[in-house]
């Protein structure tokens, strides 16, 4: 009986050692996977930041273009006004 | 001659006075008693008188013993009471009343054990051993003697070691192991001689003489008897003295000297009368009767033997009775009384058979006891082995339970770790997915923006082309109209340049310093074309060539430089504008300086251009520093990490 129990204890000891080894292997694998994932996150985060910068530039341009459009519209309106004024003065407008 | 020598066993003493003999001590004690001491002292004196009378007069010893016991009980002094019981036991022992001796010794032993008086208890144990020895229970006697000896040796009590060794020697004599008997007795004698214990020497020499007498060494026996007589005289030990005379008488009778033998018996008888030891007297009668038979005086022998018979029958002393019957048979034969011969022959035979049977029974009982002990021992060993086996089993089961629990814990830990892993992994993957989704959305937005900017670029180009065609195709004599067209064309061209610059920055994920240098250089060339009176200088540190910037950083630097140069061109009235880009302690430093009119930064309000530069540099984590002085030009420093 004692012999059987001792055999079981030895077996259980082996199981304990095995479980510990597996546990530390899993821990190492997980650490490496996390490292890889963090690297990916860092990369895509950088890309994200770059894209945000580009979008900001685009937005700024959009604003500039908006202002330019207003200026240009005024200029074209003034040009047309002058043109029509000139045509009117010379009676060149179609009736 | 089985019972030729009387018992001469010697009890342990609680006190001892080697310089005086018993009678002198008794006189002293009685003198103390007459002074009427207190109750405790009186009780102690009674106890001492009991002890010292034991060897002088047994009746007197018993008388004082009873008085000592009564006084001790009245005082409630259990220690003294135990001593009295022990002394009374010794008196009964000397009287030959072993039953009463045993009862008194046992009482003393019990009291001392309760009181945890181990020394006294061991003395009582040794005295009990003497009783066992005289009732032929040799095993019990040997066991008790050796227990006591071990105790006295451990406590270095040399006096009691000596007494116990003498008793063991006496026991070996009874067991007919004479060499051992002589060895133990001589060890006891050596101690008593060294310490001049006459009383002890009287008894030890008597016992040694007895051993030599039993081995038929008459010369040595007489020698030690004489030594004993001398010491008995000095210590007034009358009982021992009477025994010595009786034993010498026996030796003389054996040697055929009947007259001398009778004379010695008479001497012994006279002393025994004083001592009043019934057993000793009866034994002496046997010896005298033996001498009478030898002398043919059968009637005298018959009288003594019949007296001894009734005494031994009253004490149930079977060994002595057997000798008496044995001696009575020839006496009655010579007196020609055949019926009595038959009667005593039959009595002798039946008693002999009874004694033999008792011895056999004792031996059988002893054997059975040994068998039972061995059996119990075996059972005990088996039980111990079983208990040990159970202990091992329990230990192994405990270890098993512990390991199972440990494995359970390890599996639980592993599972929990797996869950945490999965959770962390899920969180990271979710974050990645989220960022990627945002990136895709931003990608789409950027793509739409690019398309939009391309369209706007095309439309602006169309406007420039249309305006230029009108200007060149028609001769516009109106200056106002011509200027308007020129303004529209210039404004549209500037807008398209800004659009192209932004598209350039947006289309590159990274901008190198080489690209930036080319752009800035291009801008300065155009500025030169616009204001050829100004001397433009542009230098860039070549070590910055490999440096990469993000599109927003690159664009903000470019716009800042552009804005600063434009400001200098517009307001500084400078003849020289310098742009320097350097690398200082790992940082990028850009200096835009002019030699214009300058201004006081404390009094002059910052314009939109300067505010824009400040905002752009702050956005990319840089520092702007403006230094200007009237008539000494302006210097803008941009410091980037």
DSSP sequence for B51-101 = HHHTTT-HHHHHHHHHHHHHHHHHHT-HHHHHHHHHHHHHHHHHHT-HHHH
Side-chain-side CA neighbours of B561 within 13 Å: the count stands at 28
Asked if the structure places residue B241 within a domain, the reply is no
| Chain B residues with beta carbon closer than 8 angstroms to that of A64 | 495, 498
pLDDT in tens, B134-172: 887 888 888 888 888 888 888 888 888 998 899 899 889
In CATH, what number is assigned to the domain containing residue B26? Answer: 1.25.40.10
Q: Point out the residue among A6, A54, A72 whose CB comes nearest to the CB of B446.
A: A54
Distance in Å, alpha carbon of B446 to nearest chain A alpha carbon: 6
Choose from B392, B395, B410 for mutation: most chain A CBs within 10 A: B410
Residue in chain B closest to A56 (alpha carbons) equals B552
Beta strands in B229-360 (DSSP E): none
Distance in Å, alpha carbon of B607 to nearest chain A alpha carbon: 18
Residue (of B53, B104, B484, B73) closest to B274 by Cα position: B53
pLDDT in tens, B434-468: 989 998 998 888 888 888 888 888 888 998 898 88
Asked if the structure places residue B262 within a domain, the reply is no
| Chain B residues with beta carbon closer than 8 angstroms to that of A58 | 445-446, 449, 453, 502, 506
Residues B521 and B625 in one domain: yes
What is the pLDDT confidence band of residue B290, given thresholds at 50, 70 and 90?
Answer: confident
Cβ within 8 Å, pair B429-A1: no
Asked if the structure places residue B392 within a domain, the reply is yes
Residues B525 and B609 in one domain: yes
| Chain A residues with beta carbon closer than 8 angstroms to that of B429 | 37
Residues B600 and B555 in one domain: yes
Q: Is the predicted pLDDT of residue B593 greater than 90, yes or no?
A: yes
Q: Which residues of B471-490 are buried (b: 16+ CB within 10 A; e: fewer)?
A: beeeebeeeebeebbebbbe
Q: Point out the residue among B435, B488, B499 whose CB comes nearest to the CB of A72.
A: B488
Asked if the structure places residue B607 within a domain, the reply is yes
Residue in chain A closest to B420 (alpha carbons) equals A30
Residues B467 and B564 in one domain: no
End-to-end alpha carbon distance in chain A: 125
Residues B427 and B523 in one domain: no
DSSP assignment of B248-286 equals HHHHHHHTT-HHHHHHHHHHHHHHHHHHT-HHHHHHHHH
- Determine if the pTM surpasses 0.80: no
Cβ within 8 Å, pair B553-A53: yes
**pLDDT reported for residue B513:** 86
Measured distance CA(B511)–CA(B497) in Å, rounded? 18
Measured distance CA(B304)–CA(B311) in Å, rounded? 11
| Chain B residues with beta carbon closer than 8 angstroms to that of A66 | none
Choose from B435, B444, B477 for mutation: most chain A CBs within 10 A: B435
- Cα A1 to Cα A9, B563, B639, distances in angstroms: 12, 94, 83
What is the pLDDT confidence band of residue B18, given thresholds at 50, 70 and 90?
Answer: very low
Out of B373-387, B404-418, B482-496, least confident range: B482-496
Residue (of B78, B138, B158) closest to B110 by Cα position: B78
pLDDT in tens, B186-224: 999 999 999 888 888 998 999 999 999 989 898 999 999
Q: Point out the residue among A52, A61, A68 whose CB comes nearest to the CB of B442.
A: A52
Cβ within 8 Å, pair A58-B435: no
Other residues' Cβ atoms within 10 Å of the Cβ of residue B520: 21
Residues B502 and B539 in one domain: no
Side-chain-side CA neighbours of B254 within 13 Å: the count stands at 15
* Tokens representing residue A49 in the block: 């930041």
Last residue of a domain, one of B479, B507, B535: B507
Cβ within 8 Å, pair A86-B478: yes
Asked if the structure places residue B493 within a domain, the reply is yes
* Tokens representing residue B94 in the block: 């000397």
Q: Assign B37 to helix, strand or coil.
A: coil
**Pairing state between β B634-640 and B623-628:** antiparallel
Q: Could you tell me which residues come within 8 angstroms of residue B208 by beta carbon, excluding any fewer than 6 positions away?
A: B182, B185, B186, B189, B224
Q: Point out the residue among B432, B446, B550 whose CB comes nearest to the CB of A41.
A: B432
Q: Which residues of B434-449 are buried (b: 16+ CB within 10 A; e: fewer)?
A: ebeeebeebeeebeeb
Residues B554 and B480 in one domain: no
Which residue segment(s) compose the domain that B57 sits in? 21-116
Out of B258-267, B403-412, B528-537, least confident range: B258-267
**Pairing state between β B535-540 and B576-584:** parallel
**pLDDT reported for residue B20:** 53
Choose from B388, B391, B402, B414 for mutation: most chain A CBs within 10 A: B414
pLDDT in tens, B538-553: 998 888 888 888 888 8
Distance in Å, alpha carbon of B521 to nearest chain A alpha carbon: 21
| Chain B residues with beta carbon closer than 8 angstroms to that of A34 | 424-425, 428
Q: Given its phi and psi angles, is residue B550 left (phi above 0), alpha (psi -120 to 50 degrees) or beta?
A: beta
| Chain A residues with beta carbon closer than 8 angstroms to that of B495 | 64-65, 68, 72
Distance in Å, alpha carbon of B618 to nearest chain A alpha carbon: 14
Beta carbons of B294 and B258 less than 8 angstroms apart: yes
| Chain A residues with beta carbon closer than 8 angstroms to that of B468 | none
Residue in chain A closest to B442 (alpha carbons) equals A51
Q: Is the dihedral of CA A25, A26, A32, A35 positive or negative?
A: negative
Distance in Å, alpha carbon of A30 to nearest chain B alpha carbon: 7
Distance in Å, alpha carbon of B606 to nearest chain A alpha carbon: 21
Cβ within 8 Å, pair A54-B552: yes
- Average pLDDT over chain B reads 86
Q: Which residues of B506-516 are buried (b: 16+ CB within 10 A; e: fewer)?
A: bebeebbbebb
ipTM rounded to 2 decimals: 0.80
What total of structural domains would you count in chain B?
3
Beta carbons of B625 and B639 less than 8 angstroms apart: yes
Residues B535 and B562 in one domain: yes
Q: Is the dihedral of CA A67, A69, A71, A73 positive or negative?
A: negative
Measured distance CA(B468)–CA(B341) in Å, rounded? 185
| Chain B residues with beta carbon closer than 8 angstroms to that of A56 | 552
Beta carbons of B5 and B134 less than 8 angstroms apart: no
**Pairing state between β B510-512 and B634-640:** unpaired
| Chain B residues with beta carbon closer than 8 angstroms to that of A44 | 432, 435-436, 439
Measured distance CA(B454)–CA(B452) in Å, rounded? 5
Q: Point out the residue among A15, A45, A57 whose CB comes nearest to the CB of B552.
A: A57
In CATH, what number is assigned to the domain containing residue B596? Answer: 3.30.565.10
**Pairing state between β B634-640 and B587-594:** antiparallel
End-to-end alpha carbon distance in chain B: 133
Residues B540 and B619 in one domain: yes
- Cα B485 to Cα A93, B218, B233, B505, distances in angstroms: 21, 174, 171, 30
Last residue of a domain, one of B507, B529, B544: B507
**pLDDT reported for residue B2:** 34
Can you name the residues that pair with B638 across neighbouring β-strands? Answer: B590, B624
Measured distance CA(B567)–CA(B326) in Å, rounded? 162
Distance in Å, alpha carbon of A52 to nearest chain B alpha carbon: 7
Asked if the structure places residue B284 within a domain, the reply is no
pLDDT in tens, A63-84: 988 998 899 899 889 888 888 8
Q: Point out the residue among B403, B446, B488 whose CB comes nearest to the CB of A16.
A: B403
Q: Is the dihedral of CA B67, B69, B72, B73 positive or negative?
A: negative
Asked if the structure places residue B186 within a domain, the reply is no
Measured distance CA(B350)–CA(B321) in Å, rounded? 12
Residues B570 and B630 in one domain: yes
Last residue of a domain, one of B492, B507, B522: B507
Measured distance CA(B480)–CA(B412) in Å, rounded? 90
Taking each helix axis from N to C terminus, what angle separates B178-194 and B158-174, rounded to the nearest 10 degrees? 150
**pLDDT reported for residue B565:** 92
| Chain B residues with beta carbon closer than 8 angstroms to that of A6 | 396
**pLDDT reported for residue B276:** 63
The kind and range of the H/E element at B388 are helix B338-473
Q: Point out the residue among A23, A37, A82 whose CB comes nearest to the CB of B428.
A: A37
Out of B346-355, B456-465, B599-608, least confident range: B599-608
Virtual torsion, Cα B371, B373, B378, B383, nearest 10 deg: 150
What is the pLDDT confidence band of residue B3, given thresholds at 50, 70 and 90?
Answer: very low
| Chain B residues with beta carbon closer than 8 angstroms to that of A60 | 502
Average pLDDT of the residues in B120-137: 84
Measured distance CA(B64)–CA(B158) in Å, rounded? 30
H-type helices in chain A, by residue range? 2-89
| Chain A residues with beta carbon closer than 8 angstroms to that of B387 | none
What is the pLDDT confidence band of residue B623, given thresholds at 50, 70 and 90?
Answer: very high
* Tokens representing residue A16 in the block: 């304990």
Cβ within 8 Å, pair A55-B418: no
Residues B405 and B500 in one domain: yes
Beta carbons of B290 and B258 less than 8 angstroms apart: no
Cβ within 8 Å, pair A68-B404: no
Q: Assign B511 to helix, strand or coil.
A: strand
Q: Which residues of B357-390 are buried (b: 16+ CB within 10 A; e: fewer)?
A: eeeeeeeeeeeeeeeeeeeeeeeeeeeeeeeeee
pLDDT in tens, B55-84: 777 888 888 888 888 888 888 888 888 888
Which residue in the block uniquely carries the two structure tokens 């003493």? B13
Can you name the residues that pair with B510 across neighbouring β-strands? Answer: B550
Residue in chain A closest to B439 (alpha carbons) equals A48
Cβ within 8 Å, pair A82-B439: no
Q: Point out the residue among B425, B491, B509 whose CB comes nearest to the CB of A50.
A: B509
**pLDDT reported for residue A95:** 64
Choose from A16, A25, A50, A54 for mutation: most chain B CBs within 10 A: A54
Asked if the structure places residue B445 within a domain, the reply is yes
Q: Is the predicted pLDDT of residue A92 greater than 80, yes or no?
A: no
pLDDT in tens, A7-31: 888 999 999 999 999 999 999 999 9
Residues B389 and B476 in one domain: yes
Beta carbons of B186 and B212 less than 8 angstroms apart: no
């Amino acid at each position: 009986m004692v012999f059987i129990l001792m055999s079981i204890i030895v077996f259980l000891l082996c199981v304990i050692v095995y479980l510990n080894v597996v546990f530390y292997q899993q821990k190492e694998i997980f650490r490496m996977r996390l490292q890889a994932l963090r690297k990916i996150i860092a990369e895509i985060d950088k890309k994200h930041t770059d894209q945000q910068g580009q979008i900001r530039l685009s937005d700024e341009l959009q604003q500039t273009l908006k202002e330019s459009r207003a200026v240009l519209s005024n200029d074209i309106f003034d040009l047309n006004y002058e043109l029509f004024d000139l045509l009117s003065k010379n009676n060149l407008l179609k009736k | 001659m089985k019972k030729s020598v009387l018992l001469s066993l010697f009890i342990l003493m609680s006190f001892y006075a080697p310089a005086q003999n018993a009678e002198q001590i008794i006189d002293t004690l009685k003198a103390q008693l007459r002074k009427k001491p207190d109750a405790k002292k009186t009780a102690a004196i009674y106890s001492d008188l009991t002890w010292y009378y034991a060897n002088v007069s047994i009746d007197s010893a018993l008388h004082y013993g009873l008085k000592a016991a009564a006084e001790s009980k009245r005082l409630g002094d259990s220690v003294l009471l135990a001593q009295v019981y022990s002394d009374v036991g010794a008196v009964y022992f000397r009287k030959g009343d072993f039953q009463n001796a045993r009862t008194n010794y046992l009482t003393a032993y019990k009291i001392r054990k309760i009181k945890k008086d181990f020394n006294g208890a061991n003395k009582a144990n040794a005295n009990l051993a003497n009783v066992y020895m005289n009732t032929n229970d040799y095993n019990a006697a040997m066991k008790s003697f050796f227990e006591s000896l071990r105790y006295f040796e451990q406590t270095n009590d040399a006096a009691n070691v000596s007494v116990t060794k003498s008793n063991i020697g006496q026991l070996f004599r009874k067991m007919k192991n004479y060499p051992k008997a002589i060895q133990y007795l001589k060890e006891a004698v050596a101690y008593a001689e060294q310490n001049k214990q006459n009383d002890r020497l009287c008894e030890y020499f008597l016992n040694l003489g007895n051993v030599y007498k039993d081995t038929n060494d008459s010369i040595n026996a007489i020698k030690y008897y004489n030594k004993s007589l001398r010491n008995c005289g000095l210590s007034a030990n009358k009982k021992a003295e009477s025994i010595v005379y009786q034993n010498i008488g026996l030796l003389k009778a054996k040697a055929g000297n009947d007259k001398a033998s009778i004379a010695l018996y008479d001497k012994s008888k006279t002393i025994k009368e004083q001592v009043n030891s019934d057993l000793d007297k009866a034994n002496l009668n046997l010896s005298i009767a033996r001498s009478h038979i030898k002398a043919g005086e059968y009637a005298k022998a018959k009288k003594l033997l019949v007296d001894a018979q009734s005494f031994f029958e009253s004490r149930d002393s079977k060994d002595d009775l057997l000798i008496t019957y044995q001696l009575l048979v020839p006496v009655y034969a010579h007196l020609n009384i055949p019926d009595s011969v038959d009667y005593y022959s039959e009595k002798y035979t039946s008693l002999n058979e009874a004694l033999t049977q008792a011895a056999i029974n004792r031996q059988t009982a002893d054997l059975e006891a040994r068998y039972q002990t061995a059996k119990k021992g075996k059972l005990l060993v088996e039980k111990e082995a079983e208990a040990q086996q159970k202990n091992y089993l329990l230990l192994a089961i405990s270890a098993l339970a512990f390991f199972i629990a440990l494995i359970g814990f390890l599996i639980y830990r592993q599972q929990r770790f797996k869950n945490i892993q999965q959770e962390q992994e899920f969180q990271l993957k979710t974050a990645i997915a989220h960022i990627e989704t945002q990136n895709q959305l931003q990608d789409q937005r950027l793509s739409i923006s690019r398309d939009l900017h391309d369209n706007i670029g095309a439309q602006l180009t169309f406007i420039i082309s249309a305006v230029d065609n009108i200007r060149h195709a028609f001769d516009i004599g109106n200056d106002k109209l011509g200027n308007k067209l020129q303004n529209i064309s210039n404004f549209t061209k500037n807008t398209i340049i800004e659009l192209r610059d932004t598209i350039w920055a947006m289309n590159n994920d990274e901008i190198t310093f080489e690209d930036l240098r080319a752009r800035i250089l291009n801008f300065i060339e155009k500025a030169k074309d616009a204001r050829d009176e100004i001397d433009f200088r542009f230098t860039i540190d070549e070590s910055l060539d490999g440096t990469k910037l993000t599109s927003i950083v690159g664009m903000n630097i470019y716009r800042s430089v552009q804005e600063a140069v434009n400001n200098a061109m517009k307001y500084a009235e400078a003849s020289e504008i310098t742009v320097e880009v350097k690398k200082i302690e790992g940082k990028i430093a850009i200096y835009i300086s002019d030699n214009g009119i300058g201004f006081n930064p404390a009094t002059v309000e910052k314009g939109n251009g300067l505010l824009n530069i400040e905002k752009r540099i702050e956005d990319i984590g840089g520092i702007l520093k403006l230094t200007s002085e009237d008539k000494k030009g302006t210097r803008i420093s941009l410091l980037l990490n």
